[in-house]
Amino acid sequence: MFPILVAGSPVDGATLPAFLVARDGVYLRKRTLLGESQTKVGRVAHLPDAEEYVEYALPQIPADLMGRVVGFFRAIYRAQRTEALVLLIWEGGQFSVAVPRQRVSAASVKFTLAEDDLPASSRLVGTIHSHGAFGAFASSIDEADEAALDGLHLVVGDLDRRRPSYSAAIVVDGHRFRADLKLVAERPRRLVEPLDDWLTQVKLLPPPRPAKRSAGSGNGALRSLPAVGSTTTRPQRSELDAQIEKAVRMADALGYRLSTWLTPVSPPHEPGGPGDD
């Protein structure tokens, strides 16, 4: 077996060939007639294959806690038809949740968390967020967001139905492992109305700003002029992003992965303007 070296530590006099483990992967350092070399390796031919896995060690999230969380999500959905989120906390050998300050829409949640928002003895171990009337699944955007936080991530959907739907995953080092709900959480037996303190943490994202109208002058007075080529307010990028997010979720629910890209186009020439030649 080749020795293993650690990048950044003294390696002078090491027996070669050897593997060097660095932040960006594994390298093979060796000496041949041509000289000493170090090359990045994607596989080691003489070793057997291995596979990624995770063995969940925490208990199930209790049914009464899930009842409070889902009751909160349903109250938010009924009031404003939006998503919402709670942070999953591990403290004193049991689960609890914290509701961070958040800005929400029908298809997104943006939250902020200060250092002192969580108890000093607690650990942030995941998230639970809602999908309103959509099914419980993680969209590609959800997966990208969750990759930044190792932990347990649950989605609650179908809040317009008597029985909500659930999905769960465990994320470690950016790798996502689907989890059976029975492994990580108990289904709530009854839903609990949320505390007022929870509800006040949730604010609607502001509506898209209307396009700025150019100001013209006439007889010494300012007057508003519509955008060129349009008699209505121009659409905003945030509106497009929200529609794309909805399309991505619908595609995911149907078993597809939707890829999108935006290509800027030149505005059309005004009537009577220069030609394309």
Query: What sign has the CA pseudo-torsion 254, 264, 233, 242?
Result: positive
Residue 98 has pLDDT above 70, yes or no: yes
pLDDT at position 63, please?
98
pLDDT at position 170, please?
95
Lowest mean pLDDT segment, chosen from 24-33, 130-139, 189-198, 261-270: 261-270
Question: Of the candidates 250, 245, 201, which has an alpha carbon nearest to the alpha carbon of residue 76?
Answer: 201
pLDDT in tens, 203-220: 998 876 766 655 544 444
| CA 3/CA 17 separation, integer angstroms | 8
For the entire predicted model, the pTM comes to 0.68
pLDDT, averaged across the chain: 83
SS3 69: helix
pLDDT in tens, 38-79: 999 988 777 788 888 999 999 999 999 999 999 999 999 999
pLDDT at position 259, please?
65
| CA 247/CA 171 separation, integer angstroms | 25
pLDDT at position 276, please?
43
| CA 84/CA 69 separation, integer angstroms | 10
Between the CA of residue 203 and those of 6, 106, 240, 245, what are the distances in Å? 48, 12, 21, 20
| CA 26/CA 42 separation, integer angstroms | 7
Domain ranges across the chain: 4-41, 63-204
Architecture in CATH of 63-204: 3-Layer(aba) Sandwich (3.40)
For the purposes of burial, counting CB atoms within 10 Å of the CB of 83, is it exposed (0-12), middle (13-18) or buried (19 or more)? buried
Lowest mean pLDDT segment, chosen from 92-96, 115-119, 171-175, 249-253: 249-253
